[in-house]
Amino acid sequence: METINSTLEYLDDYLDYYYNNSNVVSVQEEPSHGGKDISRILSVVIYSLTCLLGILGNGLVIVIITFKMKRSINALWFLNLAAADFLFNIFLPLNIAYTAMNYDWVFGEALCKLNSFLLNLNLCCSVLLLTTISIDRCVSVVFPVWAQNHRTIKLACLICIVVWSAGFLMSCPSLIFRQTVSHQGKMVCFNNYSLSKKDHDLGVKRHTAVNVIKFLTGFAIPVIIIMVCYTIIVFKLKRNRLAKTKKPFKIIIAIIVTFFLCWTPFHILNLLEVQYAHFSHVLFEIGIPIVTALAAANSCMNPILYVFMGQEFKKFKVGILSRLVNALSEDTTYSSLAHRSFSKMSSMTEKETVFL
């Protein structure tokens, strides 16, 4: 009985301090209801704009790449990014309704699991694709001849399958631990890492493990890989002065920077909530809804970046479709590297010199 009571107290604490589901006020520290309401309303506004812009923008990108553009590796990367975002966007109305109803989940446990799964799938696939794009860029610059011979559509498709498979596996904890429970007269959709009334300590360990692994695989390690790749690219291009245009380079950098700006607060609060009892629960009640909405907003950002960076913004005569096609088309900068390398090899062979 003591174990059961302890677990129930833990569940109450979990729901009171955690995620964006608490409506219970601690005796020691009463949060500002005005702050909670502002946080919730702001989240609804962000979700609504994200849903509208995301469905329209990502849907347009998918249509353009599928029906209006020739097949290319760059287009394939952008198609998969748009697909991950679009899949999340079409389920976003569930989050809008949940937040608008003051976190009362009325859609059943299956959709509770699916909704959380899609958010994590969007995170995992997006960050894995951005890391893949960075590695692809780096290889194209450092080894242009090899890239010319081995960088194929077939290989890119295989990589995309691996990325989606990895994203699915990384998102599976949502299908296992996400549950609904009646709490304080409302149905709450939350992560129950205990699973049973006797697994309090194990639940804490599971929670810590899931959040730390998510931080490492969905943030820290990709950041390191991406920074290393683009550091190498910058030094290589500056040393050899190979880049004719910085446009494609700027687009990818903008996408990556935007991604991490949107997701960094989310990961920070997810790490902090592992030790939720050591922090004011006001931080989570007000902060979690906002950072979750900000993370979700990333799913509508890429099409906007394609439009405003595909051509110079001052050229108003260029239509949106033209800008999108321009931004999504194969990168001429890196393909030119292989051409130059081949030319260099031919020239040096004629002079009977050693290719360094």
Percent of the chain whose predicted confidence (pLDDT) is above 70: 73
Domains of the chain: 2-18+31-343 (1.20.1070.10)
pLDDT band at 322 (very low <50, low <70, confident <90, very high): low
- Mean of the per-residue pLDDT values of the chain: 77
* pTM, entire model: 0.77
Dist. CA 168–CA 331, nearest whole Å = 29
Q: Which among 242, 266, 245, 232 has a CA at the least distance from the CA of 311?
A: 245
Mean of pLDDT values over 61-73:
86
- Res 326: pLDDT: 62
pLDDT band at 333 (very low <50, low <70, confident <90, very high): very low
* Residue owning tokens 């609060």: 269
- In the chain, the largest separation of any two C-alpha atoms, in whole Å, equals 88
Measured CA to CA in angstroms, residue 44 lies from 50, 95, 96, 298, 305 at distances of 10, 8, 6, 15, 23
Mean of pLDDT values over 92-97:
92
pLDDT band at 9 (very low <50, low <70, confident <90, very high): very low
- Res 11: pLDDT: 42
Based on the number of CB atoms within 10 Å of its own CB, is 57 exposed (0-12), middle (13-18) or buried (19 or more)?
Answer: buried
Q: Does 306 have pLDDT greater than 70? A: yes
Mean of pLDDT values over 182-197:
82
pLDDT in tens, 217-231: 988 999 899 989 988
- Res 25: pLDDT: 32
Which is it for strands 178-183 and 186-191: parallel, antiparallel or unpaired?
Answer: antiparallel
